[in-house]
Amino acid sequence: MTVRPGERRLALVTGASRGLGEEIASFLALEGFDLVVTARGEPSLQAAASRFRSHGGSVEAVAGDVTDPRHRAEVRALVERRGRLDLLINNASELGPSPLPRLEAAPLPALERVLAVNVIAPLALVQELLSCLSAAHGSVVNISSDAALAGYPSWGMYGSSKAALDLLGLTLAHELEDRGVSVVTVDPGDLRTSMHQAAFPGTDISDRPLPSVTLPFWAWLLHQDPKLVSGRRFRAQSDRWELPV
């Protein structure tokens, strides 16, 4: 990320009102980023934005659904005022019905919704914000899941969407190299969040760590050469993260 003296970096975080998205946005604010944050719930998003502002930076919060072109246009307008975007965190995700259905009984309209949020919307945001990302030699981080790789029973809707997102990110990493934009995929691991609770209704998930467990990874990633991490898939809860020698 290329920053001129006195210029503040700008990050866009989707799904920033709670859970992992809120943790990442708060961390970025502490690291000196100005923020554009979005989520579906207006009250919870505005409350989170107030917490982010306490770290001293500028925070623009706009509530809406990332699958809605009108909402994405609002977000794009906020970013274009700055003329640059250093970091896009595609965190907003859709789990699907709870309890999770087996694929043989998966409701197809619900699958369309999962794919719209988890695959189409992240690509749409990259397309709409590409000029600002390119101007900053910025980075895109797509939040994935181990469900993309494992084929867990009943996780097929969500897992297939994240597998598609993985390949989308890898392809974009190759395609956008000449634009100076890097693309990284991150599996945050099991976390104690409302989405994870929805995947296990009636089950105590207090043994899962809070999203703050991923903070060492974000601190590491932020200080890597974007060219070296682009196209890579990282597990945030690993003991260490390595780059090609």
- Using one digit for the tens of pLDDT, what is the confidence trace for 176-202? 999 999 999 999 999 998 888 898 898
Range of the domain at 45: 10-235
Inside any domain, residue 4: no
Task: Tell whether the model's pLDDT for residue 5 goes beyond 60.
Answer: no
- Using one digit for the tens of pLDDT, what is the confidence trace for 58-111? 999 999 999 999 999 999 999 999 999 999 999 999 999 999 999 999 999 999
pLDDT attached to residue 26: 98
Inside any domain, residue 84: yes
Active-site choice (26, 160, 161, 162): 162
- Using one digit for the tens of pLDDT, what is the confidence trace for 149-165? 999 999 999 999 999 99
Active-site choice (158, 161, 182, 230): 158
Inside any domain, residue 194: yes
Inside any domain, residue 121: yes
Is the bond into 5 cis (omega within 30 degrees of 0)?
no
Query: Catalytic annotation on 152?
Result: no
Q: Which sign does the torsion angle of CA 239, 55, 9, 140 carry? A: positive
Instruction: Over range 226-235, report the average pLDDT.
Output: 97
Q: d(Cα 136, Cα 90) in Å, to the nearest integer?
A: 17
Please, which pLDDT band fits residue 3 given cuts at 50, 70 and 90?
low
Q: What is the DSSP track for 20-38? A: HHHHHHHHHHHTT-EEEEE
Query: What's the structural domain count of the chain?
Result: 1
Inside any domain, residue 244: no
Inside any domain, residue 138: yes
Q: Which residues contact 122 (CB under 8 A, 6 or more apart)?
A: 66, 90, 142, 165, 168
Query: Catalytic annotation on 158?
Result: yes
Task: Tell me what the pLDDT averaged over the chain comes to.
Answer: 95
Inside any domain, residue 1: no
In this structure, what DSSP letter does residue 232 have?
-
pLDDT attached to residue 14: 98
Q: Which residues contact 167 (CB under 8 A, 6 or more apart)?
A: none
Active-site choice (144, 145, 160, 182): 144
- Residue corresponding to tokens 């859970």: 19
**CATH no. for residue 183?**
3.40.50.720
Inside any domain, residue 29: yes
State the pTM of this model: 0.95
Task: Tell whether the model's pLDDT for residue 144 goes beyond 60.
Answer: yes
Query: Catalytic annotation on 144?
Result: yes
